[in-house]
Amino acid sequence: MEHVSPGALAQSASAGIGRDIYELAARLYPICRSITGDGVRQTLDMLSDHIDLKRHEVPSGTQVLDWVVPAEWTVRAAIITGPDGQKVVDFADSNLHVVNYSQPFTGALPLGELKAHIHTLPDQPDLIPYRTSYYAPAWGFCMAHEQAAALPDGLYHVEIDAELKDGSLTYGEYLHRGQSEREFLLSAHICHPSLANDNCSGLALLALLAKSLRARKTRYSYRFLFAPGTIGAITWLSRNEDRLHLIDHGLVVSCVGDAGRPAYKRSRRADAFIDRVMAHVLGTEPGARMLDFSPYGYDERQYCSPGFDLPVGMFQRSVHGEFPEYHTSADNLDFIAPEHLEDSFRILTGVIDIVEEDWTPLNLFPKGEPQLGRRGLYAALGGNKASGATSMALLWVLNLADGKHSLLAMAERSGLPFGELAAAARLLVEHGLLAAAS
């Protein structure tokens, strides 16, 4: 397999990639997922159409760090029937209508008692909220506030045909093997039901990013993890403690399909290589945000817990909890778009390019400036614009190639794009002026 130069992965895959990611997200969208159950397995089946996923089943009751793998949840139906015999709420219409992980329940209740089990959003009265009861057993429904407010008094028949029993927690992994065992971890939570941005977008993007890597020979190995939020990441960590030292870089990916400007949350370390790469890549993105680490959010807080302190940050567009569609029925397929998914794909491939192409060069003629014209380097620049190199990039690389500055450090110091410096370094190597520092 031939080496692929920086940016080539993004360029070769960009045509139609946003549409492809959107179409996969649309296929994933209707599935009722939770932290356990067949919804996760169905999702992994769809992702397996694109990559060779390895599936893991961890039995209920298994101790994982300070947690225990919970019972497996199955829901078949959830319906509220009004006093007039008409259906008020039907899980078949939206899987957000039932509280995720709801206990089973069948009975007849007056409206006053029923309302204690109905969740709404008074500030967003036309939307259905997403609610869970993973670790606090309860039963309940979610519905639009305006609909709930209009319910007449009377006796309502309630049925939640659900089951919680011993089973297993399921997660999937795909490993793109590189020349080294050192790993780049990319993780997306697989537990949310019909929420397009959070996180059908992340699942679909990572699956097709993994698929695109098959055409590339890489230095690093890339591990893609699709696991339920919190308990899934904790389970994976507990089962892989002996391999965690191999992780050099990591990203949690979610909410990557909407129109918000890109945002990156730093790792707990704050200055890990991935933090620097993301700062460089997003530095040219208008309106992009760099956020400091906090121990609240998605699975980055598990990977960055003090006992592990892995170099893992989080990449999003609109930040979770900060957009009005978050955890509501408005996070639907109209909220995400192919062009935003393609932009997120482009950003992540740019990150991979830097991770793959960064190295520390040494100027072989460090005393004074080497004569570039005699070696035809200025002519090479003029005749090969596709190389991406510029005269300033050549001069910066030569000046900073003291065996202490990597190409990323040069990009940070000079303010030039990493790609220009990488192209200049390749040109200098070809002309015998540069070598890898020992």
CA dihedral for 225, 227, 233, 238, sign (positive or negative) = negative
Domain spanning 8-69+168-357: which CATH class is it, in words? alpha beta
Domain boundaries, the chain: 8-69+168-357, 76-165, 361-436
How much is the pTM?
A: 0.93
Domain spanning 76-165: which CATH class is it, in words? alpha beta
Residue 242: Cβ-neighbour burial (10 angstroms; 0-12, 13-18, 19+): exposed
What local confidence, expressed as pLDDT, does residue 391 receive? 86
Buried b (16+ CB within 10 A) or exposed e, 309-332: ebbbbbbbbbbbeebebbbbbbbb
Cβ count within 10 A of residue 347: 20
What the block records as the tokens of 373 is 């014209």
What the block records as the tokens of 420 is 């220009």
Q: What does residue 76 show for φ and ψ, rounded to 5 degrees? A: -110, -35
Tens digit of pLDDT per residue, the chain (438 long)?
Answer: 233 444 444 444 455 999 999 999 999 999 999 999 999 999 999 999 999 999 999 999 999 999 999 999 999 999 999 999 999 999 999 999 999 999 999 999 999 999 999 999 999 999 999 999 999 999 999 999 999 999 999 999 999 999 999 999 999 999 999 999 999 999 999 999 999 999 999 999 999 999 999 989 999 999 999 999 999 999 999 999 999 999 999 999 999 999 999 999 999 999 999 999 999 999 999 999 999 999 999 999 999 999 999 999 999 999 999 999 999 999 999 999 999 999 999 999 999 999 999 999 999 999 998 988 888 887 655 545 545 568 899 999 999 999 999 999 999 999 999 999 999 999 999 999 999 998
For the chain, the first-to-last Cα distance in angstroms comes to: 27
Residue 81: Cβ-neighbour burial (10 angstroms; 0-12, 13-18, 19+): middle
Please tell me the CATH code under which domain 361-436 is placed.
1.10.10.10
Q: What distance in Å separates the CA atoms of residue 67 and residue 185, rounded to the nearest whole number? A: 22
Instruction: Annotate 234-280 with DSSP letters as a single string.
Output: HHHHHH-GGGGGGEEEEEEE---SSSSPPEEEPPTTSSSHHHHHHHH
What the block records as the tokens of 256 is 């990557």
Side-chain-side CA neighbours of 373 within 13 Å: the count stands at 0
Q: What distance in Å separates the CA atoms of residue 62 and residue 60, rounded to the nearest whole number? A: 6
Residue 32, CA distances (Å) to 36, 41, 129, 130, 209 in order: 11, 11, 15, 12, 24
